[in-house]
Homo-oligomer: A and B are copies of this chain.
Amino acid sequence: MAPYLLLAPGPVNLHPQVRKILSEPMIHHRTPLFDKILTRVLERLPSIFYTHQRVYLLSCTGSGGMETLMVNTCNPEDEVLVINSGKFGERWVEMGKAFNLKVHDLKVPWGEACTVEMIRPFVEKFPIRAVFCQATETSTGVKHPIEALGQYLKTFQDTLFLVDGITAVGAYPILMDAWSIDGLVAGSQKAFMLPTGMSFVSFSTKAWKRIPHVKMPRFYYDIRQEDRANQKGETWFSSNVSLIKALDVVLNLILDNGLDEHYHEIRERSEFTRFCIQHFGLKLFPQSPSESITAFCVPEGINSQSLRNTLEQDFNLTIMGGQDQLKGKILRIGHMGFIERPDQIRLMSDLQKAFTQFKVPFNPLSETEMLQWFKS
């Protein structure tokens, strides 16, 4: 059988250099060697966030990073707006309710992108303390217009713009400072090409003015403590040594390659995927597709979950199906992580074999035609 191929929207396939460093003997976090690595990582991470602020390393999944944005900026009973366009928008809503916020739940139809017009009635009518959004909603593959939303929201002095960039930061440019994002979270197992287990967060000056006055009970995610520790060249809790060492390697890879070239490669993967899907005669699911992930529809009568399972069992490759209202209806392919051109071609070839097996009508595409696309 062909080697296992992981092309999900996260976790993603690891670079060989990352796998190598993860296998190294453990070192202690209170050593000069680790101090140097931590300093290097903390110095370079802000460039991926396009910010002058510090970016913090948290030992938790992306959801812990989302919680960090919320509990450091919101008081109980605060009115907040959630742009809810999928599973992860729903997570903001549930989280807000768990922390006793008054949540305005703006339900954007799955697959559609939010507009300034959609949020205007909320922020102009209610004392909205924070607007929560996804940069890319992983469950639908939609990319929201973060720049436009940020430009609009920055004029509201008491409203912070808090963005889940978990499936975005590092995959395409999210300009935290220039777009007036007040809190941004990224995840290790996405464009940072690491195992699951860390998230990265940063706050704007506007957010930092509020943070010390926020009364929400918090300890593990109290960003003031992490900030103090970072100023001393430490992390507040035991450093996530393995992932921070691996992150140092990933930053070398990305920054040596150049951010532009790095983004270009991911964009090329998404464009190739969209070209193939549309050539097959299938429909992309989201209105405004993201560079990090491509979601597309399978024809009615075909169960995308069964197709995905077949790809796993018979072809030894993992892509994802749909969740909740999209269960059985879409397939999702990730473009982040260590992916080489033969992997992309293999996926599209195997997908066609599976289509045939499932009697999906499609317009076939040969490997020669695929290679042709890359040359053109």
Contacts and interface: CB of A to CB of B under 8 A. Distances in A.
Contacts of A281: none
A97 B95 CA distance: 23
A129 to B, nearest CB: 16
A149 interface: no
A300 to B, nearest CB: 24
Specify how many copies of this chain sit in the oligomer: 2
A61 B237 contact: yes
Contacts of A127: none
Given A60-B60, A99-B219, A241 B29 contact: no
Interface in A22-66: 22-32, 59-64
A216 interface: yes
Interface residues of A, number: 59
Contact of A20 (B23, B196, B222): B23
Nearest to A242: B195
A8 to B, nearest CB: 5
A100 interface: yes
Given A4-B27, A29-B11, A217-B217, A240 B22 contact: no
Contacts of A28: 6, 8, 11, 318, 320
A149 to B, nearest CB: 24
Contacts of A218: 98
Main secondary structure of the interface of A (DSSP, over half): loop
A189 interface: yes
A374 interface: no
A22 B13 CA distance: 13
Contacts of A10: 238
Contacts of A25: 3-4, 6, 13-14, 19
A312 interface: yes
A239 interface: yes
B222 A98 contact: yes
A314 interface: no
A227 to B, nearest CB: 16
A240 B187 CA distance: 12
A83 interface: no
A190 to B, nearest CB: 10
A212 to B, nearest CB: 14
A197 interface: yes
A238 B95 CA distance: 16
Given A60-B64, A197-B242, 14 more contacts: A4-B27, A11-B28, A11-B238, A29-B196, A32-B312, A59-B59, A61-B240, A76-B217, A98-B219, A99-B217, A196-B239, A196-B240, A216-B217, A217-B217
Interface of A: 3-4, 6, 8, 10-14, 19-20, 22-32, 59-64, 67, 76, 94-95, 98-100, 187, 189, 195-198, 216-222, 237-243, 312, 318, 320, 337
14 contacts: A4-B27, A11-B28, A13-B26, A28-B318, A32-B312, A59-B60, A59-B61, A59-B64, A63-B238, A64-B237, A67-B220, A95-B219, A189-B238, A196-B240
